Chains A and B, each alone.
Chain A
Amino acid sequence: MEGSDALLAARLAAGDDRALAEVFDQLAPSVYGGALRVLGNGSAAQDVVQEVFVELWRHPDRYDPAVGSLRTYLVVLARHRAVDLLRSELRRVARQERHYRLTPAEPPGTASDEVMAAETASVVRAAVQLLPDGQRRVVELAYFGGLTCREVASAMGIPEGTAKSRLRLAMAKLETVLDRQLLEST
């Protein structure tokens, strides 16, 4: 298929929906599989597949056959989208945990939400363990503990500016670590 990627890209740009169907039939299993391994959730992986193919159809010019194969482009795009989704889930989980702690009597979300959140939190917690101690502690207190930067600084006995800077560094590393983990997982 790689040999005809330029032709497929030209057909997509010309508005040939059959080219999109051909690409889907050839590459959707790889895209779906990649997203599924990142997210561990079939429904979320399907959303990523849809997002990736709609993106390809809307902006076929963003794919450059001279740079690499269409397969690589789509799989990498799927990973990025999956990681984005994971990060967004991380923020949601952190918000939810803070919310539950403040209002414990309120009923939690649906069973599938909880499964998804648990899977996401598990992946992220594993990545957090790879951070240096100082940065890991800041992340744990801020995201899983729900503390503000000022509270984190106070709890760790460090200046607030240092807490903020460690959090920034930790998040940057976390993103890198997550990306590498996800790449290796496929």
Chain B
Amino acid sequence: MSTTDRDRANLPMDPLPIALRERVMAASLLARGVGETVPAVPAISADEAFERAADAFYRLLGTLSEQGWKTAALRGLDVQELVGHLTGVEHDTHRALAGDPAVADAEHVESTQGSAVRQAGRSPAETLDEWRRAADHTLELVRAPGGDLAADGCAGRIAVHGIRLPLDDLLVVRAFELWVHDNDIRRAVGLPPSVPDPPVLRLMSDLAARMLPYAAARMGLPPADVRLVLTGTGGGTWDVAIGEETAGRESLAIVADAVGFCRLAANRVTPAELGSHITGDEGRAVSVLAAATTLALD
């Protein structure tokens, strides 16, 4: 009788020796740690991630027709105005890197609206050039040898648009936003969606997972231990502790596609659209996913 036949017939299997499970798990985790992905994704720096996202965005913009630039994309902005918004974000980032408190709590959309509407009457090439120079200047500032930023590294926090993050995380946020708007533009002009480079996606996934407790706290979610498994190249496994350490915490497991989860964190898909696999209280898990959507800057 084959093993499958045996199983189907519900016949008893060979008894498993006691302690074999523990021995196998220990040997496995010695060979490869929890959260280490297969295939392994090369680690890159946050400024490299930002540069790659900027390059991808620049390449996309280079393919657009005149009509494409005028297509409605987001929040009533056409593509050209949306690029203007991103130029405004870079300018505010420059000010934040210089320690300007005026941009620390500025509203993300409102603060950049002037830059968006300023694109009216400009050629797409001018808009594109201005944004590229702004993005390149961000890189120059964070890479400046011997400068204050280089000396501080990620130890100091940069405050801009209501978020206060170490420099490295801020750069990943910037890469995140470029990818999100890249896809907003693609959707507007009828192009298929893009996926970040695996090393960039890995940093984005990691940031979204680490930010989850803050989003959950903002939503007032009760304490829970969440095993977050993001599948696909650029994903990984995170144990996220939500709320204070208390007895009787809810234990949840959420498995979702890494790209999908990043779209969720960008508020571009809903928890229902994400198609996650949940273990534990489904309602609580959906609340955690809903909290993730509030991470979006838009």
Contacts and interface: CB of A to CB of B under 8 A. Distances in A.
Interface of A: 7, 10-21, 24-25, 28-30, 32-34, 36, 42, 46, 49-50, 53-54, 57-61, 71-72, 75, 186
B119 interface: no
B120 to A, nearest CB: 46
Chain B's interface size range is 35 or more
B4 interface: yes
A72 B16 CA distance: 19
A53 B33 contact: no
Interface stretch (B56-64, B95-103, B129-137, B223-231): B223-231
Interface stretch (B21-29, B47-55, B77-85, B156-164): B21-29
A18 B253 contact: yes
Nearest to A21: B25
A57 B26 CA distance: 11
A84 B236 CA distance: 34
Contacts of A14: 35, 37, 229-232, 235-237
A75 B3 contact: yes
A16 B21 contact: no
Interface of B: 2-4, 7, 13-17, 20-21, 23-25, 27-29, 31-39, 227, 229-232, 235-237, 253, 255, 277
A11 B20 contact: no
A32 B17 CA distance: 9
26 contacts: A11-B229, A12-B38, A13-B38, A14-B37, A14-B231, A14-B232, A15-B32, A15-B34, A15-B35, A17-B25, A17-B34, A20-B25, A21-B21, A21-B25, A24-B24, A24-B25, A28-B24, A30-B7, A32-B20, A33-B3, A36-B14, A53-B24, A53-B27, A54-B31, A61-B38, A75-B3
Contacts of A57: 28-29, 31-32
A160 to B, nearest CB: 44
B31 A17 contact: no
B3 A58 contact: no
B21 A59 contact: no
